[in-house]
Amino acid sequence: MKVAAVASLLGSALFALSVQAAECGEGAMPIIVGQRSASRKPLGVNMTTYTTDCSNVTFVFSDTDGAETPGPPTTYPTCIWFPNGTVIRGGEICSKGRGNASVGEFHVIRHSPVRVEAVQYLPSNASIIYLNGMGIRSLPKDLTKDDTGKSLVANRIHFENNSITSIQGIVWPPTMSILDLTNNSITELGDLSANTNFKVFSVPRNKIKSLAKTRFPPGITDLYLQFNFISSLENMPPVLDSLTVSGNQFTSFPSLPSTLTQLLAAFNRVTSIDQVAIPPNLQALDLSYNNITEIRANFPASLSNLCLAGNPITAFYANQSQFEVLSGLDNNSTNTSFTLGFDSFGNYDATSTCRVMLTTTATNLTCKGHKGIQMLWDTFPICILPDTVATSSTLPADSSSNQTLMWVGIGAGSLVVVVSVALFIFHLRRRRHGSSDNSAFKAFEWHSPTAADDSEYSIPNDIRYDDSLKHFIIPASCVERERVLATGGNGIVYLARITRVGESPQLAALKRVLPSQSTNLDAIEMFMNELRLSAALSHPNIVTFHGFTWTTLSNLSVLSEYMSRGDLWSILDPKINPTCELEWLVDPNIDVDFDKIHVKSSAFKVPVSKFSVVCDVANALAYLHTLDQVVLHRDIKARNVFINNEWTAKLGDFGTSRARDMYAMTAEIGTLPWMAPEVLKGIMYNEKADIYSFGVLLSEVDLRAVPYSNVEAYATNDSVSVEMIRARVAMLVMSGELRPKFSPTCPESIVNIARRCLAFDPRERPSAIEVVGWLNQLKRSATVVNHVH
């Protein structure tokens, strides 16, 4: 069958099929259509089926002009059969990585646009199998052999991001020790006890309500059940070492496996741990974002990481020996602020443990019957009790500890919660300990003859010695730093003046890392990467990069165009600028022809307006997304759009260096409202995530409000914290149940463009070029208004 015919049958999305073949790379390969021999009959299937039954099928490459050439020889291939007899290649053994030439690693690239409804057989000679994001709904009862009867040797199988509803009764390969079923639709696990080699079992983000009928394999050491709808622990494996149950519906843990060394139970409904028998060898305990008001310390000496962030604790009791246990914790930061799901540089981080023990210093507010107060790490007051009343049963009772928190999650029947557990692991902004106020002050000094020598530090690819960028170096003697423009978690921005010999002084924005980060080599290296990228960009709607300067490594600074009117949000914000006169100035009667793209901009001069601003941003995105190496901005919002004196909008990125306090209540939302669902899920994403953020920006510009900033509307109880509300907003966005709104006066053409940008499926969103083309159609009909500012 010709490729054109297959495309007609399956749709053009089929041509985006990507598999990982023998070279183990993740690059896309052309669709490989199978041609059956005369003796080969189609596999009789009534749904799209993944299998190893591919004998007597030849796979060929077909290029764009229709020429067909034999495909490469395949080793243990798999294929996908369609009900009409069409067959395409599914993947191949990879001979690198964890496997070897005969027993390799098998991949199908995650999130393939080809939907596979059923699996018949898996490849027998693959030690690791990935079948992620394919839409699989059903699995066969026997997964121990391939179509020839050969036994599987897989020790690790991944069926992540599919639609599997049941695994009951499935016989898995006896060699398998790791099974990952993250983000499916499983409601019950059933009897798995026959799988004696299971060690790691992962079923987060499913629809599991109860473990009452579950029989776990006896050898499981690591169990991941986060973000289901479970309320009690039952039938736990006897040798369990690590248990993750964050984002469920637990109110207590009356019985925990005594073998546990790690328990992660954030975002549940727990109000007290008084009656919890803490496992004697527990090393890590995460109870962040429950509703615990009182802690009666009874932790084992083995505990090294305790996370209670987000709990409204007003009474923290401990005797002297327990105070010593607390004092020895590894996560001993005194900083109570953090960013949800992101590290201190704004990057999504799914690996680190919780570095915040407490987010309140009112831990002695309601203490009773204690003999004194001791300050934990000079920050957190702990109510000290005599050693004779160390046990929780003899500590003073407080009825407030029984207050129940109304969970802000979603009912089990309404949503498969698709939020990664890492989204709710909270990371403390890195802080350099032991630095004096004096050294911090010196780090702020620009020309500091006493600045510490940085010769002891080594930065890979140090930008200061990059010959390709030496023409961007601005001597420090030419730079005069003035007032602070903005500060944030890791950076500070000043107004600066560049004065070169024979040239007029030039105003610029000078950005550098904060003094507290000046010896953090990770922060400096990331700052260098940002600087290197900025130097490579050049577009009328991108903030211009002037150069960089330094006297020591710690004060390395980037100098960029000074945007005199500030950021777009400061213009839109009703609190800052209540008389803002920016309007859309788009003819409300004009429709966009979405099948027609006018990429070339109209010669018509668009007056200063909301429309002119978003057109400028779209042009910047089109530039970034069409570079030879596509650049993702990843933080499109009004705060990162800057306006010059001529009212030209330019895209920039101050990241966490932007001031947060001007958001007031919406500061707690952070950058979450602008993030695409796939970014929040922590899964693979591309430039279409920027397009989603652009759609959110259209709402922000229209309403002059941060999306979802009315946080109280998402609370189900007055005691719910803002961070819990953030979590609820994240879940609703990830499920597609929550989208930004628009005002009744917003032009319908703008709303229609925004809806396409905000499509839940990234593949349904337009490209930046398409967005620019649609906006250019509206330019031709933009209302001419003499809009003076």
Q: Which two tokens stand for residue 18?
A: 């990507």
Residue 511 in this model has a pLDDT that exceeds 60: yes
Whether 677 maps to a domain, the answer reads yes
Cβ atoms of residues 219 and 239 within 8 Å: yes
Q: Which of 398, 431, 464 is the last residue of a domain?
A: 431
List the one residue out of 602, 604, 696, 686 whose CA is nearest residue 641: 696
β partners of residue 165: none
Greatest Cα pair distance in the chain: 90
**How distant, in Å, are the alpha carbons of 295, 357, 380 from that of 335?**
20, 9, 10
Domain boundary among 372, 397, 431: 431
Is residue 276 domain-shared with residue 415, that is, in the same domain? yes
Which of 79, 80, 108, 76 has its CA nearest to residue 93? Answer: 76
User: Which of 42, 20, 39 lies closest to 29, judged by CA?
Assistant: 20
Output the DSSP codes for 370-434: -SEEEEETTTEEEEEE-GGG-SGGGSPP-GGGGPPP---S--TTT------GGGG--EEPP--TT
Helices (H) and strands (E) in the chain, counts: 11, 31
Other beta carbons less than 10 A from residue 769's beta carbon: 15
Q: Which residue has the tokens 């599997």?
A: 164
Q: Report the CATH number that the domain containing residue 452 is assigned in CATH.
A: 3.30.200.20
Share of the chain above pLDDT 70, in %: 73
Whether residue 576 is found in the same domain as residue 485: no
On whether the CB atoms of residues 103 and 94 are closer than 8 A, the answer is: no
pLDDT band of 714, cuts 50, 70, 90: low
* C-alpha–C-alpha distance, residues 740 and 189, integer Å: 36
- Token couple for 636: 């499109």
Least-confidence region, from 251-260, 430-439, 651-660: 430-439
What integer pLDDT is reported at residue 445 of this predicted model?
35
Burial class for 185, CB neighbours closer than 10 Å (0-12, 13-18, 19+): middle
- CA angle at residue 635 from 688 to 507, to 5 degrees? 130
Residue 465 located in a structural domain: yes
With 0-12 / 13-18 / 19 or more C-beta atoms within 10 angstroms meaning exposed / middle / buried, residue 767 is: middle
CA–CA separation, 32 and 220 (whole Å): 40
- Domain identity same for 412 and 452: no
Spatial contact of 517 and 523, defined as CB atoms under 8 Å apart: yes
Residue 73 neighbours by CB under 8 Å, 6+ apart:
none
> What CA–CA distance (Å, rounded) separates 53 from 40?
11
Task: Look at phi and psi of residue 729 and say left if phi exceeds 0, alpha if psi is from -120 to 50, else beta.
Answer: alpha
Q: Where are the alpha helices (DSSP H) in 502-659?
A: 521-536, 568-572, 610-625
DSSP, collapsed to helix, strand or coil, labels residue 372 as strand
What CA–CA distance (Å, rounded) separates 512 from 548? 10
Confidence check: pLDDT of 13 > 80: no
**Sequence-separated (6 or more) residues with CB below 8 Å from residue 41:** none
Among 303-307, 353-357, 506-510, 779-783, the range scoring the smallest mean pLDDT is 779-783
In this structure, how many other beta carbons lie within 10 angstroms of the beta carbon of residue 196?
9
Query: Residue 559 has what DSSP assignment?
Result: E
Q: Is the pLDDT of residue 388 over 80?
A: no
Share of the chain above pLDDT 90, in %: 43
Lowest mean pLDDT among 367-376, 490-499, 647-656, 692-701: 647-656
Closest alpha carbon to 29 in 84, 95, 82, 74? 74
Q: Specify whether 365 is located in the same domain as 297.
A: yes
**Residue 591 confidence (pLDDT):** 87
Task: List CB contacts of 712: < 8 A, sequence separation 6 or more.
Answer: none
Both tokens of 183, joined, read 């983000």
Q: Report pLDDT for 316.
A: 96
User: Which has the minimum average pLDDT: 28-32, 76-80, 543-547?
Assistant: 28-32
CA distance linking residue 622 with residue 686, whole number of Å: 14
At 778, which amino acid appears?
L
| Token couple for 200 | 């790691």
Looking at the structure, tell me whether residues 584 and 555 fall in a common domain: no
Nearest to 608, CA basis, from 788, 437, 454, 479: 788
| Phi-psi category of residue 293: left, alpha or beta, with phi > 0 → left and psi -120 to 50 → alpha | alpha
Bigger pLDDT: 599 vs 469: 469
Residue spans of beta strands (DSSP E) within 377-430: 380-385, 427-428
10 Å Cβ neighbour count for 107?
Answer: 25
Does residue 578 share a domain with residue 541? no
CA distances from residue 266 to 475, 515, 764 in whole angstroms, order as listed: 50, 33, 34
Whether 758 contacts 697, CB under 8 Å: no
pLDDT, tens only, 716-741? 555 555 666 777 788 788 888 889 99
**How high is the mean pLDDT of the chain?**
76
Q: What is the DSSP letter of 680?
A: H
Output DSSP code: residue 374.
E
Return the closest-CA partner of residue 661 out of 222, 337, 232.
337
Beta-bridge partner residues of 372: 384
Pairing of strands 178-180, 200-202: parallel
Locate 455 and state its tokens.
């010769």
Nearest to 93 by CA among 25, 154, 24, 189: 24
The answer to whether position 784 is within a domain reads no
DSSP 215: B
Query: 381 lies in a domain?
Result: yes
Residues 6 or more apart from 713 whose CB is under 8 A from it?
none
Amino acid, single-letter form, for residue 229: F
Is residue 642 predicted with pLDDT exceeding 70?
A: yes
pLDDT confidence bin for 4, thresholds 50/70/90: very low
Q: Residue 758: pLDDT above 90? A: yes
- Domain co-membership, 585 together with 639: yes
Cβ pair 539, 550 in contact under 8 A: no
Domain contains 297: yes
Whose tokens are 């499913």? That residue is 206
From the centroid of its chain, how far is CA 497? 38
Q: Both 463 and 604 in a single domain?
A: no
Q: Check the CA dihedral 720-726-727-731 and report its sign.
A: positive
pLDDT in the model for residue 125: 81
b vs e for 51-82, b when ≥16 Cβ sit within 10 Å of the residue's Cβ? bbbbeebebbbbeeeeeeeebeebbbbbbbbb
- One domain for residues 455 and 418: no
Beta-sheet strand order (sheet of 545-549): 479-487, 491-498, 506-513, 557-561, 545-549
- Rounding to the nearest 10 degrees, give the CA dihedral for residues 234, 235, 240, 244: -30
Identify the weakest region by mean pLDDT among 13-22, 454-463, 636-645. 13-22
Max mean pLDDT among 29-43, 109-123, 226-240, 324-338 falls in 226-240
Residues 315, 298 share a domain: yes
pLDDT (tens digit per residue) in 462-508: 899 899 999 999 999 999 998 888 876 668 889 999 998 888 899 99
201 in a domain, yes or no? no
Interatomic CA distance for residues 190 and 43, integer angstroms? 31
Residue 532 has pLDDT above 60, yes or no: yes
pTM of the predicted model as reported, rounded to 2 decimal places: 0.50
Query: Which of 533, 561, 589 lies at the terminal end of a domain, its last residue?
Result: 561
Confidence band, pLDDT 50/70/90 cuts, at residue 457: low
Looking at residue 539, its amino acid is H
The total number of structural domains in the chain stands at 4
Q: CA-CA distance, 229 to 206, in Å (whole number)?
A: 8
Residue 50 β-bridge partners = 80, 119
Tell me if 288 sits within 8 A of 354, measured CB to CB.
yes
Q: Measured between alpha carbons, how far is 594 from 614 in angstroms, rounded to an integer?
A: 18
Residue 73 lies in a domain: yes
- The rounded distance, in Å, linking the Cα atoms of 303 and 328 is 9
Averaged over 118-122, what is the pLDDT? 93
Give domain status of residue 438, yes or no.
Answer: no
Half-sphere exposure of 700 (CA within 13 A, CB side): 28
Mean pLDDT of the 140-160 span: 92
- As beta bridge partners, residue 157 has 129, 179
Range of the domain at 607: 568-779
Partners of 91 in the β-ladder = 78
pLDDT for 409 beyond 50: no
For residues 308 and 454, state if they share a domain.
Answer: no
pLDDT at 459: 74
> Do 461 and 574 reside in the same domain of the chain?
no
